Structure 1
Amino acid sequence: MAVRERPKAVTLTEAAADRVKSIMAQRGTGFLRVGVKNGGCAGMEYEMDYVEAPEALDERVEDKGVEIVLESKALLFLLGTQIDYEVTPLHAKFVFNNPNQTDACGCGESVTIIPVKEA
């Protein structure tokens, strides 16, 4: 019986993977950690930070040659998310294409996310 590979909790576009590689090459050690926090006018905000090592319950995700860490308490909010990196004449930023996101504020910094229901 063939073992089916477990789907990744989040994926990265090539642009996001390239940017993470660049950032982490400058830092030299550690991981980029992705999470969510309460805040903003829509209720939640995505957050990214550097950590030297993942915490015990954090989810490690490898995609397109980079490894990121997902904060354990944010995992149900982030399942199925694709992280992109967008560059326009006015900004350069990571963009979260999250199927669990139900609303966002006008500035795009704050979102409403419904966690995935456990089976």
Structure 2
Amino acid sequence: MSVTLTEAAARHVKRYIAKRGKGVGVRLGVKTTGCSGLAYKLEYADEVAPEDVVFEGHEVKILIDPKSLPYLDGTELDFVREGLNEGFKFRNPREKDRCGCGESFRV
């Protein structure tokens, strides 16, 4: 099992953690919500919890709770700029469908 992040995502995370003055990486998970069933949740993490599964890429830790890992296995986290918008993009090979508004997905 693995979760990765692109160099662009790692740069963004490192810049934000430096700006905050603390942090060990990002915590990635899923929650039940939306019209398709699941939504990604992403937050900056200040510490590694004992139950976290830890992946690392480009000197950035990705922390995942064990319940979310089966839904996220193989996911690549990217940071993209599209016109005036920028944000994280999830490339998840397990995604079977996404709702019209893009807020939720199903596997």
Shared topology, TM-score over 0.5? yes
Q: 2:21 aligns with which of 28, 32, 37?
A: 28
Query: 2-side partners of 1:108 and 1:87: how far apart?
Result: 17
**Shift of residue 28, structure 1, vs aligned partner:** 2.0
Q: Which structure has more RCO (C-alpha within 8 Å, separation ≥ 6)?
A: 2
**Shift of residue 35, structure 1, vs aligned partner:** 0.5
* Cα RMSD (Å): 1.4
Runs of 4+ aligned residues of structure 1 deviating over 3 Å after TM superposition are none
What's the CA shift string for 1:58-117, capped at 9, x where partnerless?
11111012112112211111111111111112421111100111100112121112xxxx
Please state if 1:57 is matched with 2:57: no
Question: Runs of 5+ in structure 2 lacking a partner?
Answer: none
Aligned residues: 106
Query: 2-side partners of 1:21 and 1:50: how far apart?
Result: 11
For the pair shown, the structure with the greater C-alpha radius of gyration is 1
The TM-score normalised by the length of structure 1 is 0.81
Question: Runs of 5+ in structure 1 lacking a partner?
Answer: 1-7, 114-119
The TM-score normalised by the length of structure 2 is 0.90
**Shift of residue 51, structure 1, vs aligned partner:** 2.9
Q: 1:12 aligns with which of 1, 5, 25?
A: 5
